Structures are given as structure tokens and as C-alpha cells.
Amino acid sequence: MPDVATTVPKSAPGEHHLTQHKFGDHAFKWLTLFMALSVFALIGLIGYELAHGSTLALKKFGWRFLVSSDWDPVSEQFGALPFIFGTLVSSLIALVIAVPLSVASAVFLTEMAPRWLRQPLTIFIELLSAVPSVILGLWGIFVMVPWLRVHLFPWLKSTLGFLPLFQGPIYGVSMLAGGIILAIMIIPIITSVSREIIRSVPGLQREAAYALGATRWEVTRIAVLSYAKKGLFGATILGLGRALGETMAVTMVIGNRPEIAKSLFAPGYTLASVVANEFTEATTDLYLHALFELGLVLLGVTILVNALAQLLLKTLGGPGVKGQR
């Protein structure tokens, strides 16, 4: 970004009007800089508070906390590994389900839907994000999980049962159920961001492709999706961010078992869920500090995943959100 000062013509002495102008620009620059940095400060403060609240656990367990699978409040042995695993796997499942659905919906809404259908459909998808997490969780227990247990899971087991992912007993509540409820929660955000991005693909791109005799599918694939892929990736990361930290709905359907299982039908547990579950009743200091450390780990995992995503984004070609101005 060019320095603001250099874009403003140098004011000659006595030209009062222009100096004022320059002052306003400067003030605005500093104001926005302050606002932007305050976000950094906020994250730093959260990190500091979490580290401060977990000193006892940090001291006692050290790095072992990250690789230990033990979570035993009675004998005060704590480790985060099954929760880290659960957080990453459930979020990954959510992305695998939500991204194709969301991008396809966004393409349909912008490229194909008749005008009268666009608005109602958009509203419906965005309505999904207005459902409170705890309500979604209760719906999950009483409607979704029984359906999954009776219909979808047995079918998955009989068709894909040769994979270790789909073996073992079916309880309904499971890592897969957790991933599915997360997918439902992140579909609205990925869809609406994707829709904005696809909408911002210049019409010239499409026209050019059509002029070359491309079919609608080819236009969508080459001129639209390929052009927008960086932005779509960004939308996915936004959804992933939500999925990593989601608590209530997941807790209610994931089975809450701190275990690393091969099967997606087995119950799992996430970092956010265990904090939500055990924080209010934690009585001893070390226990409380271990829960705080889980919060710190969650912050770390989120930052790490986002950083990796940014790196991956750099390797993708084509203009991204930035290039579409």
C-alpha cells in the first residue's frame, strides 16, 4: 500500500485548505491503524489470559499435555490429544460435507436460479445460521441422531464397511454425527460468502467464455469457479474457523468420549466441548488450569490451521478476493 502522505499533493506554504486536508488524512490513517492493531491486541490479550489461567497445568504437564490421552479429574492427570484429534476430525468432516454443498448452492443461486427463486432460497439458507446452537443440538439428539442410526449409518456400513472408517457398533451419537451437525452450521456462512464472491466475478469473463463457444458447465468451471477459487477457499476457511470452535450442538451429538477411534461411528470429543462440559463444576485448581490450557490449545490449533490455510492459499494461482476489486 502506498503511503497516504505521498498520494496527497505537497502543500505549498500558505495553502491552508490543503494542510487541513492532509491532517484529516493523517488522522484517518492513524485511526484505522489503531483499530486494526486493536484486533491483534485482543488476540494477544486472550492468549495471555489463557496462558495465565493455565500456569499450574503448563508447569506440571509441559509439552506432555499435547500428546497425552489421559483425562482423569479424580487422579488429576490431564492430556489434550483426544480432544485435539476430535476437533480436527469433526471439522474436517464438516468441511467435506459443507463445501461442495455450499459452493454448488452458491453457483446455483448466482448463475442458474430463476430470479423469483433466488431471494427466498437465499433467505432460507441464511435462516439456518439464525438457529441457536443449543436448539440445533437438541434437534440433533431427538431427530437427527435417531435417523442417522436407523437409516444412514447402517447403509454406510453395508456399502463402505470395508473401510475402517465405517466399521464397529453404531450408537448414533458419534464423530460423524458431530461432523454432520457442524456441516449444517457452517453451510450458511460458506454459501453466503461464496455467493458474494461468485457474484463479483466480472461479467466479461463469462461473456468471453460463451463467445468462445463454451457450454454453461464449462463457463461455470473455467470462467467462474476457477477465477473465484481463492475467494472460495477464503470462504471455506471462515467456515472452518466456526467449526473448530463450535461447542453446544457438537457436544450434544458427538458422544463425548475422549478416545482416538478409527471408526467415524465411534464417539469422539472436541476441545470446545470438554471446556463447556466441565468448566462449571471444576473444583480443584489444577483441574481448572487444565481446562484453561485446553482453551489455549484450541486457540493455538485455530491459529495454526489458519496459518496453514494461508500458506496453501499462496500456492493457489489466479486472482483471489483481492484481485476482484
Partner 1 sequence: MNTSKLFALAAGALVAFAGLTQAAEPLLINGAGSTFDLPAFSKWFDAYAKLDPNTRFNYQSIGSGGGQRQLLNETVDFGASDAPMTDEAMAKGPGKILHLPVVAGGVAIIYNLPGNPKLKLDGATLADIFLGKVAKWNDARIAALNPGVKLPDMEIIVVHRSDGSGTTFIFTDYLSSVSPAWKSQVGKDVSVKWPTGLGGKGSEGVAGQVKQLPGAIGYAELAYANQNKMPYADVKNAAGSFVSPSPESVSAALATATIPDDFRFSMVNPPGEKAYPIAGASWILVYQHQKKADHGEKLAGFLKWAVTEGQKLSAQLDYAPLPENVQQRVLKLVGTIKY
Residues contacting partner 1: total by CB under 8 A: 35
- 172 binding partner 1? (CB under 8 A): yes
Q: Which stretch binds partner 1 (CB under 8 A): 56-64, 86-94, 114-122, 274-282?
A: 274-282
d(CA 198, CA 249): 30
d(CA 257, CA 261): 10
Of 223-252, which residues contact partner 1 (CB under 8 A)? 251-252
Q: Which stretch binds partner 1 (CB under 8 A): 98-106, 134-142, 158-166, 233-241?
A: 134-142
Q: Report in angstroms how near the CB of residue 240 gets to partner 1 at its nearest.
A: 24
d(CA 32, CA 207): 39
Number of H helices, E strands in the chain: 16, 2
* Element (DSSP H or E) covering residue 208: helix 203-211
**13, 114, 281, 311: residue in contact with partner 1 (rule CB under 8 A):** 281
Would you state the cell numbers that stand for residue 302, as one nine-digit string?
485455530
Q: Report in angstroms how near the CB of residue 161 gets to partner 1 at its nearest.
A: 18
- 267 binding partner 1? (CB under 8 A): yes
Give me the residue label for grid cell 509441559: 62
| DSSP 3-state of 69 | coil
What phi and psi, each to the nearest 5 degrees, are found at residue 187? -55, -45
**80, 95, 98, 173: residue in contact with partner 1 (rule CB under 8 A):** 173
Q: Rounded to 5, what percent of the chain is helix, strand, coil?
A: 75, 0, 25
- 141 binding partner 1? (CB under 8 A): yes
Q: Report in angstroms how near the CB of residue 288 gets to partner 1 at its nearest.
A: 8
What are the strands, taking DSSP E only, across 181-220?
Answer: none
Would you state the cell numbers that stand for residue 34, as one nine-digit string?
489503531
Q: Which stretch binds partner 1 (CB under 8 A): 70-78, 201-209, 220-228, 231-239?
A: 70-78
| DSSP 3-state of 71 | strand
Q: Which stretch binds partner 1 (CB under 8 A): 24-32, 36-44, 141-149, 231-239?
A: 141-149
d(CA 237, CA 95): 9
**70, 111, 126, 196: residue in contact with partner 1 (rule CB under 8 A):** 70
Residues of the shown chain interacting with partner 1 in the complex, contacts defined by CB under 8 A: 70-75, 137-138, 141-142, 145-146, 149, 169, 171-173, 251-252, 255-257, 267, 269, 273, 276-284, 288
